[in-house]
Structures are given as structure tokens and as C-alpha cells.
């Protein structure tokens, strides 16, 4: 593969910088592609301009060309609008999965191929195995950094001609390589949060886009103990931001969101962090997306319902079309509609489905 052209998604961070350096060291002809997803920065929260300057410094150090492409219209339509619609519907959507599915591995990948790329690469901590039957997505060796959860909604064909050079490395190893290579951003702090929110408080951001719909907060016995400004501002399992003062007869302990009742516009809370309404062994998903569907299906699989959660043993309880219900060996806490259940067979990521509800037990 020496001399083949690979276009690297150069974000300005250390991971993508090391990705480009590694591929150049392996003999690839490397180009960088900086993606602009968000251009509305009325309060100075977005770091896109700073990220681009960092990416440009890396490209200059490596002696590679850097292209800049604006996908902000695609991002607004295919990620941001769906994100807001999800919250308005009472869900808790995940824009990172949407961004990978709708932007990074569609228009971004297509643009790279139009630039003449033989391969497209990103700094994701994941592995992709290219076999005669098509690509397979595998977990990274650094389980703490594994990002297959965020890639699990991408169509299988969009992993064709994709490289993940960091999948076999740990984060400390990547930092060490960046310093060894003299990359100008080797000590740059990892970005956190969502690009269109930046470092601001999440509820503050949502309140600029969603109208308040005040209602009451009830405890698990049905007593009114507070007020909320809208169900969209809360999620199952939430502890902070409930603004519940001292409640007569209640113990001095945190309150947790255990249910949202859209028809009545009521938020239900409890001081039991493992309330039965928060715990379930059966989780239903809609429109399950298979990256690879084994035949026959293994009897025992594993899954996670949020990033960084340890893998949880499960089986497929039933399927109805594209809807799948999963049965877990151990009760799962706060299976939030709008988030994703990501399925694994050993190291292989099989696919994902949006959580629709806890199934009846």
C-alpha cells in the first residue's frame, strides 16, 4: 500500500495528528481534510477557528496539504435538527452517533474520495478488518478509549476503504508518539462535549432553542414537590439540576429522575438511585442497524447502553421486523429512549439500535 493516497480527517487534536504521522511513516501519500460542522458562534463557545489553526500547524510540520470543507449545512439538517426534534419528543438523542453516521462517513468520506483518496482515515480508537466478505468493525485494544459505540450506526459499506491507525494503541502511547514526532499539538488538551455547545452549560444551550413548558415534579408516591421548566430539559437517571429544596418528611439524600410523563407533563423523581422504574433486564430497540449479522447468531452476546459502560452479557429475546428486544443477565439502569444500545460478539461490533423503551417484564 506504499504510495497510496490516504485522506486523514485532521481535526486539530492529537489523535488525528498522530494518525496522519503514522500513515506518512508507513509510506502513504497523506493529505489532511479539516471539517467545519458549525459556524454559528454567537457567544464564542465554538473552537472551530482554533482547531483549524492547530490542524494547519500539524499539516505544515508533516509537510502535507490541508483541505478545508464546510459541512455546516449538512450538519444542521442531518444532525442538529434531528437532535432538537429528539429532545422535543422527550428523548435524549446522541449527536456523536448522528455525526458519524450522517456526516463523517457520508459527505466527508465522499469528499475525500473525490479528492482522489485510495483510503480515508480518522483518529477514532477502533479497528476495522477488511475481509473478502466486507469490513468488520472491532473494538480498540484500549478499552478505556474504545469509540466503537459512536461508530455503531454507520452503514457497513461506509467502512470500505477506511483506516483506523490508532485502534491498536493506548492513549498514553499516542501522546508519546506525538511528542516523539515533534507534533506542535502533542500536549493539546482533548476536546470534550459537543461542537455546537462547546463549554457552556447544556441546559442553558437547550433553553435557547426549546420553549419552556413548565409542569410539576412528583415524588414516587405522587406528591407534588417541585416545578420543572420542561421535560425536554431532563433525562432518566438525572441527579443534578432538579432544584428540589428540602421536602418535608424526606431524608437528606439526592433525588433522581425516574420517569417522564408527556401526557401529563409531569416529571417523577425518587431518592432511590436504583428505583424499579429505573432498572430493567429487557430493553427494546427500534430499527436495529446491523453492521454484520452473524449466521447463526451466537446464543450469548454483549452490549452497552452508553459510552464507557462495561460490556453487559445479553441475549436476543425477540425480533419483530427491525425492532429487537434484548434480555440482559444483570439489570440495567436508566435505559434512556433516544440513546443507543450497541451490540458486540467478542471484539466485533455487530451494530446498534435506538433505545425505544424498557420492555415489559
| Catalytically annotated residues | 99, 195
Q: Residue 301: count other Cβ atoms within 10 Å of its Cβ.
A: 19
Q: Supply the Cα-derived Rg of the chain in whole angstroms.
A: 22
Rounded CA gap, 49 and 44, in Å?
Answer: 10
Strand 279-290 to 323-333 pairing: antiparallel
How many Cα atoms are found within 13 Å in the side-chain-facing hemisphere of 130? 9
Secondary element (H or E) of residue 50: helix 48-62
C-alpha cell of residue 113: 474520495
- How does DSSP assign 227-258, residue by residue? EES-GGG--TT--SS------TT--SS--EEE
What's the 3-state SS for 94-158?
A: CHHHHHHHHHHCCHHHHHHHHCCCCEEECCCCEEEEEECCEEEEEECCCCCCCCHHHHCCCCHHH
Amino acid at each position: 500500500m506504499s504510495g497510496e493516497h490516504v485522506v486523514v480527517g485532521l481535526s486539530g487534536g492529537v489523535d488525528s495528528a498522530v494518525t496522519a504521522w503514522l500513515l506518512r511513516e508507513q509510506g502513504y501519500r497523506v493529505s489532511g481534510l479539516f471539517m467545519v460542522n458549525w459556524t454559528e458562534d454567537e457567544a464564542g463557545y465554538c473552537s472551530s477557528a482554533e482547531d483549524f489553526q492547530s490542524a494547519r500547524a500539524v499539516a505544515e510540520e508533516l509537510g502535507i496539504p490541508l483541505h478545508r470543507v464546510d459541512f455546516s449545512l449538512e450538519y444542521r439538517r442531518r444532525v442538529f435538527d434531528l437532535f432538537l426534534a429528539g429532545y422535543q419528543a422527550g428523548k435524549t438523542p446522541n449527536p456523536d452517533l448522528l455525526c458519524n453516521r450522517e456526516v463523517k462517513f457520508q459527505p466527508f468520506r465522499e469528499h475525500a474520495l473525490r479528492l482522489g483518496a485510495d483510503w480515508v482515515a480518522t483518529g477514532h480508537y477502533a479497528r476495522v478488518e477488511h475481509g473478502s466478505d466486507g469490513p468488520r468493525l472491532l473494538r480498540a485494544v484500549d478499552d478505556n478509549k474504545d469509540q466503537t459505540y459512536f461508530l455503531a450506526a454507520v452503514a457497513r459499506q461506509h467502512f470500505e476503504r477506511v483506516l483506523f491507525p490508532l485502534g491498536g494503541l493506548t492513549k498514553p502511547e499516542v501522546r508519546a508518539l506525538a511528542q516523539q514526532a515533534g507534533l506542535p499539538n502533542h500536549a493539546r488538551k482533548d476536546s470534550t462535549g459537543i461542537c455546537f455547545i462547546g463549554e457552556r452549560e447544556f441546559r442553558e444551550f437547550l433553553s435557547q432553542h426549546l420553549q419552556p413548558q413548565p409542569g410539576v415534579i412528583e415524588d414516587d408516591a405522587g406528591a407534588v414537590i417541585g416545578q420543572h421548566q420542561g421535560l425536554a430539559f431532563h433525562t432518566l437517571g438525572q441527579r443534578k439540576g432538579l432544584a428540589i429544596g428540602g421536602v418535608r418528611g424526606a431524608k437528606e439524600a439526592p433525588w433522581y429522575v425516574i420517569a417522564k410523563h408527556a401526557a401529563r407533563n409531569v416529571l417523577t423523581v425518587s431518592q432511590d438511585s436504583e428505583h424499579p422504574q429505573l432498572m430493567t433486564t429487557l430493553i427494546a430497540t427500534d430499527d436495529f442497524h446491523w453492521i454484520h449479522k452473524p449466521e447463526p447468531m451466537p446464543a450469548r452476546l454483549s452490549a452497552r447502553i452508553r459510552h464507557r459502560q462495561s460490556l453487559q452479557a445479553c441475549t436476543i429475546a425477540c425480533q419483530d421486523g427491525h425492532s429487537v428486544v434484548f434480555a440482559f443477565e444483570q439489570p440495567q439502569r436508566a435505559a434512556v429512549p433516544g440513546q443507543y444500545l450497541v451490540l458486540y460478539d467478542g471484539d466485533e461490533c455487530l451494530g446498534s439500535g435506538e433505545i425505544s423503551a424498557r420492555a415489559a417484564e
